[in-house]
């Protein structure tokens, strides 16, 4: 088997690339280890806690014991299914802040500033405002990726935005438009009541073309001959074979598996490769380094009225929601329940938001376990730009072994300070009059946790990953020894090989990473095709006029 382009990974970026390359008439083979995304656990938005906990759909990775979190091992779900993590995520759609991309460009990712990436966000989107206002000129209206808003009928969901306003923060009609800062409605990748993953938006249409083929198998390594990538070795149906690429091999296997594949192929830190008996093709010390993520806490409050989703949290309630969704694709099953968002700055002198809120009208954990108190609500909160960095390394030279993952979470004193600030600012918001009719006792951290030490204990025990790993194949200038790919996503030191997924992010963006990952696939496809890039935008984002002197 051979094609012009061989893409490893049918995830957010890989699906977008398959669509654009095949649309341009190139032949594409996509290699994916995971299986079908059919069935209600993936397709029903409200069931989002199931697929990320199912071995059938998730690689099942976890961190090593995290040294600054009391040795806890945190789970690191990554999609092992058509659509990748866009098939198991929370379906939240956040582009990131304009300044994130300007920072990328400043770090050597030339041509990836906000002016350069905005046209790609617009090209990929089919945005539906649902009558909630917004910034149509900043959005795309005919792309493959449907972006919608939930119905926002729950009074708690509306109270959260009002509480933000009462606390003195901005209200924004569209955090993906001109103004990210403030409180407002969440965007999601849900369309007609179903999860609208990268598989639905990009891969299925691409596979209808004769130029695009999907192959199921485990990619073992990139085959490199005389300094050039010429194919991918994989295990398929008990056989080992090589799929050859006439033009290029593209890794879109995630921020955990893309660096792993590079290292298995001899591209990475030379000493580390030698430890595992792998011949060095290119000594790139940056491969697997610069690992970043977002952490979050759930600040949970009991509710004094039965307004939360808790009344459905029983077998009968879930069955009724499931039945309504199966037959009509409507009702509570058709929403991810994340319908109100907030982006704020932690203190004066911070130019753009560095804290994100996800509001949920139930007190529940990601694994689906509810709080013992029954009715309640919670705000997920966490800092956006931690300075802590981790790494992905090889556990062994065997492709079937999971990579070794250490995030080094909370390794910098500023992380602890930032999280204490997050808790205190959240408490202040939940104490506003908008919640007076609903507010019971604080479930967690709990009213007793007030001192820095008490909050630190709570953070150490309860902080969770928001599942936004990135940065392990950092993009930079070709002469930067720590960069792995150049600004056209080409692996430095090897011909015919690119990486296009969240691993190339120089620094994590503000918010959830699915939208930036798809954008990466869209833009990388234009680099691969060698054609002109979309014309830069001249739109200027809103920055708080008093950011230097005021926190809100």
Q: Categorize the per-residue pLDDT at 133 as very low, low, confident or very high, splitting at 50, 70 and 90.
A: confident
352-381 confidence digits (pLDDT tens):
999 999 999 999 876 777 777 789 999 999
Instruction: Check whether 179 has a pLDDT greater than 80.
Output: yes
What span, in angstroms and rounded, lies between the C-alpha atoms of 309 and 279?
55
Does residue 343 sit in helix, strand or coil? strand
- State what percent of residues in the chain have pLDDT above 70: 99
Does residue 440 sit in helix, strand or coil? strand
Instruction: Check whether 132 has a pLDDT greater than 80.
Output: no
Measured in degrees and rounded to the nearest 5, phi and psi for residue 322 equal -65, -40
Mean pLDDT of 380-408: 98
pLDDT score for 53: 87
> Which token pair is 25?
């008439």
182-222 confidence digits (pLDDT tens):
999 999 999 999 999 999 999 999 999 999 999 999 999 99
Strand partners for 225: 228
Q: How far apart are the first and last CA of the chain?
A: 58
Annotated binding site: 81
415-464 confidence digits (pLDDT tens):
999 999 999 999 999 999 999 999 999 999 999 999 999 999 999 999 99
**Mean pLDDT across the chain, nearest whole number?**
96
Mean pLDDT of 253-258: 98
pLDDT score for 531: 84
What span, in angstroms and rounded, lies between the C-alpha atoms of 549 and 552?
9
pLDDT score for 456: 98
156-174: b (≥16 Cβ within 10 Å) or e: bbbbbbbbbbebebbebeb
* Residues in contact with 55: Cβ distance below 8 Å, sequence separation at least 6, in sequence order: none
pLDDT score for 435: 98
* Residues in contact with 39: Cβ distance below 8 Å, sequence separation at least 6, in sequence order: none
Instruction: Check whether 135 has a pLDDT greater than 90.
Output: no
What span, in angstroms and rounded, lies between the C-alpha atoms of 471 and 386?
13
Closest residue by Cα to residue 246 from 498, 5, 21: 5
Burial of 126 (0-12, 13-18, 19+ CB in 10 A): middle
CA-to-CA dists, residue 446 to 93, 304, 382, angstroms: 31, 16, 18
How many residues are listed for the chain in this entry? 552
Q: What is the pTM of this model?
A: 0.98
What span, in angstroms and rounded, lies between the C-alpha atoms of 37 and 16?
17
508-547 confidence digits (pLDDT tens):
999 999 999 999 999 999 999 998 999 999 999 999 999 9
- Strand 282-283 vs strand 267-268: parallel, antiparallel, or unpaired? parallel
> Which token pair is 551?
């926190």
Annotated binding site for FAD: 81
Number of H helices, E strands in the chain: 13, 25
The DSSP result for 345-402, as a single string, is -SSTT--S--EEEEEESS-B-TTSPBPTT-SEEEEEEEES-----BEEE-SSS-TTSP
Q: How many CB atoms lie within 10 A of CB 39?
A: 13
The answer to whether the beta carbons of residues 97 and 353 sit under 8 Å apart is yes
Active-site residue flag, 68 = no
Mean pLDDT of 307-319: 91
pLDDT score for 235: 98
Write down all domains in the chain, each with its CATH number in brackets: 2-529 (3.50.50.60)
What span, in angstroms and rounded, lies between the C-alpha atoms of 418 and 315?
39
pLDDT score for 366: 66
Q: Categorize the per-residue pLDDT at 49 as very low, low, confident or very high, splitting at 50, 70 and 90.
A: confident
Which residue out of 276, 468, 527, 544 is catalytically annotated?
Answer: 468
Instruction: Check whether 549 has a pLDDT greater than 90.
Output: yes
pLDDT score for 313: 87
What span, in angstroms and rounded, lies between the C-alpha atoms of 481 and 23?
35
> Which token pair is 528?
């691969």
Q: Categorize the per-residue pLDDT at 322 as very low, low, confident or very high, splitting at 50, 70 and 90.
A: very high
CA-to-CA dists, residue 1 to 34, 249, 533, angstroms: 20, 14, 31
Q: Contacts from 265-273 at CB under 8 Å and sequence distance 24+?
A: 265/221, 265/222, 265/223, 265/224, 266/224, 267/222, 267/491, 267/493, 267/494, 267/497, 272/393, 272/394, 273/394
């Amino acid at each position: 088997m051979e094609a012009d382009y061989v893409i490893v990974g049918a995830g957010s970026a890989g699906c977008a690339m398959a669509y654009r390359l095949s649309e341009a008439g190139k032949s594409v083979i996509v290699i994916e280890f995971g299986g079908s995304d059919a069935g209600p656990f993936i397709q029903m938005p409200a069931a989002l806690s199931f697929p990320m906990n199912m071995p059938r759909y998730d690689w099942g990775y976890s961190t090593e014991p995290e040294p600054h979190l009391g040795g806890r091992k945190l789970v690191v779900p990554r999609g092992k299914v058509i659509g990748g993590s866009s098939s198991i995520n929370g379906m939240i759609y956040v582009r990131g802040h304009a300044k994130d991309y300007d920072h990328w460009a400043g770090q050597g990712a030339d041509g990836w500033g906000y002016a350069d990436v905005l046209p790609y966000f617009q090209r990929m989107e089919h945005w539906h405002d649902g009558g909630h206002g917004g910034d149509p000129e900043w959005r795309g209206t005919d792309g493959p990726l449907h972006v919608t808003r939930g119905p926002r009928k729950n009074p708690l969901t509306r109270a959260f935005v009002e509480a933000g306003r009462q606390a003195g923060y901005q209200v924004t009609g569209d955090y993906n438009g001109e103004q990210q800062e403030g409180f407002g409605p969440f965007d999601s990748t849900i369309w007609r009541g179903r999860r609208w993953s990268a598989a639905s938006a990009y891969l299925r249409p691409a596979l209808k073309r004769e130029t695009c083929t999907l192959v199921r198998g485990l990619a073992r390594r990139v085959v490199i001959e005389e300094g050039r990538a010429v194919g991918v070795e994989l295990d398929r149906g008990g056989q080992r074979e090589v799929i050859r690429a006439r033009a290029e091999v593209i890794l879109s296997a995630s921020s955990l598996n893309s660096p792993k594949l590079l290292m298995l192929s001899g591209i990475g830190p030379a000493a580390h490769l030698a430890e595992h008996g792998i011949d060095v093709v290119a000594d790139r010390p940056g491969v697997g380094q610069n690992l970043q993520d977002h952490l979050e806490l759930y600040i949970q409050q009991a509710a004094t009225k039965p307004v939360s989703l808790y009344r459905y949290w029983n077998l009968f309630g879930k069955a009724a929601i499931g039945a309504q969704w199966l037959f009509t694709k409507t009702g509570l099953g058709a929403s991810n329940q994340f319908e109100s968002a907030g982006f704020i700055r932690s203190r004066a002198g911070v130019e753009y938001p560095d804290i994100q809120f996800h509001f949920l009208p139930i007190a529940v954990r990601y694994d689906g376990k509810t709080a013992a108190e029954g009715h309640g609500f919670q705000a997920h909160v966490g800092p956006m730009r931690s300075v802590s960095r981790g790494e992905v390394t090889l556990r062994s030279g065997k492709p079937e072994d999971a990579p070794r993952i250490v995030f080094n979470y909370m390794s910098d004193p500023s992380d602890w300070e930032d999280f204490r600030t997050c808790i205190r600012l959240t408490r202040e918001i939940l104490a506003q009059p908008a919640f007076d009719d609903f507010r019971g006792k604080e479930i967690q951290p709990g009213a007793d946790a007030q001192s820095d030490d008490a909050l630190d204990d709570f953070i150490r025990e309860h902080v969770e990953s928001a599942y936004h790993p990135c940065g392990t194949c950092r993009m930079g200038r070709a002469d930067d020894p720590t960069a792995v790919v150049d600004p056209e996503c080409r692996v430095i030191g090897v011909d015919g090989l690119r990486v296009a997924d969240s691993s190339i992010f120089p620094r994590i963006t503000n918010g959830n990473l699915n939208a930036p990952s798809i954008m990466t696939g869209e833009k990388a496809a234009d680099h691969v095709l060698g054609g002109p890039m979309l014309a830069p935008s001249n739109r200027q984002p809103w920055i708080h006029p008093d950011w230097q002197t005021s926190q809100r």
